[in-house]
């Protein structure tokens, strides 16, 4: 099994990269795949063009309200696990698990804890796990992104975004997470280009070119699976991801 995580500041192309990696894997028959949207501001399902399943956080909230109506003799943890398995969005070639976000005073840490424990059981059924993490560094401090084969940190081509990516990289080093390889991916969204005198904390693994086709598909609600294989963004992800997983 290969586990891939994508991290970065909001708006740096995390979800787009996650979806492109999933698309590359599927088109090269690298499956089964579990896609995990661990960002509270969930939209991976939209980029993939599929319905959003009930989120893990919503399940926790619902079961907490139904604690007096659990099936006789069933522990709450077992009932939760059953409900989460039922909520996984099963597509023809991959499955999607949605983290969701808390409303009001609920603690997101508990949902993270559930996700970690449940993932350890669930991921054994898949050849690939692709996790779109929440923006920033919270998922690292909560150790949601642990035991990864590859972590891709996304950044726009500007100093503020790159500095944020560097902080994420520093936290990974500080926490001594079990991540085998870390890569920086720069995103030319909006036509921004990296400066020639840029002195990176990590050499960019690749630069993701802005692709209007992806934006158009998402706006039309078609999802990224309609993207042609000659897409500039698709081709560069394919070129760099396949050698890592072969």
Query: Using 50, 70 and 90 to split pLDDT, how confident is the model at 63?
Result: confident
Mean of the per-residue pLDDT values of the chain: 83
Burial (CB count within 10 angstroms: exposed 0-12, middle 13-18, buried 19+), residue 75: exposed
Domain 2-245: which CATH number of 3.40.50.300, 3.30.565.10, 3.90.1150.10, 3.30.465.10: 3.40.50.300
Q: What percent of the chain has pLDDT over 70?
A: 85
155-210 pLDDT, tens digit per residue, is 998 888 888 899 989 888 887 778 899 999 999 876 667 766 666 778 899 999 98
- The CB density around residue 54, as the number of other CB atoms within 10 Å, is 16
Distances, alpha carbon 226 to alpha carbons 1, 49, 82, 221, in Å: 27, 9, 33, 10
Residues 38 and 115: beta-carbon distance below 8 Å? yes
The C-alpha atoms of residue 202 and residue 37 are separated, in whole angstroms, by 26
Domain ranges of the chain: 2-245
Gap between the Cα atoms of 131 and 45, Å rounded: 12
């Amino acid at each position: 099994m290969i586990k891939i995580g994508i991290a970065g500041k909001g708006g740096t192309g995390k979800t787009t990269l996650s979806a492109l990696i999933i698309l590359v894997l599927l088109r090269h028959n690298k499956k089964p795949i579990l896609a995990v949207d661990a960002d509270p501001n969930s939209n991976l399902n939209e980029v993939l063009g599929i319905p959003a399943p009930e989120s893990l956080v919503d399940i926790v909230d619902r079961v907490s309200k139904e604690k007096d109506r659990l099936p006789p003799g069933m522990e709450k943890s077992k009932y939760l696990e059953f409900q989460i398995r039922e909520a996984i969005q099963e597509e023809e070639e991959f499955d999607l698990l949605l983290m969701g976000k808390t409303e009001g005073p609920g603690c997101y840490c508990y949902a993270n804890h559930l996700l970690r424990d449940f993932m350890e059981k669930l991921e054994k059924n898949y050849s690939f796990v692709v996790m779109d993490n929440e923006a920033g560094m919270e998922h690292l401090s909560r150790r949601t992104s642990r035991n990864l084969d590859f972590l891709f940190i996304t950044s726009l081509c500007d100093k503020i975004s790159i500095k944020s990516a560097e902080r994420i990289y520093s936290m990974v080093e500080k926490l001594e997470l079990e991540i085998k390889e870390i890569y920086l991916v720069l995103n030319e969204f909006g036509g921004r280009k990296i400066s020639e005198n840029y002195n990176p904390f990590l050499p960019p693994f690749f630069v993701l070119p802005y692709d209007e086709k992806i934006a158009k598909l998402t706006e039309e609600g078609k999802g990224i699976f309609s993207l042609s294989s000659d897409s500039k963004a698709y081709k560069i992800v394919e070129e760099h991801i396949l050698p890592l997983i072969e």
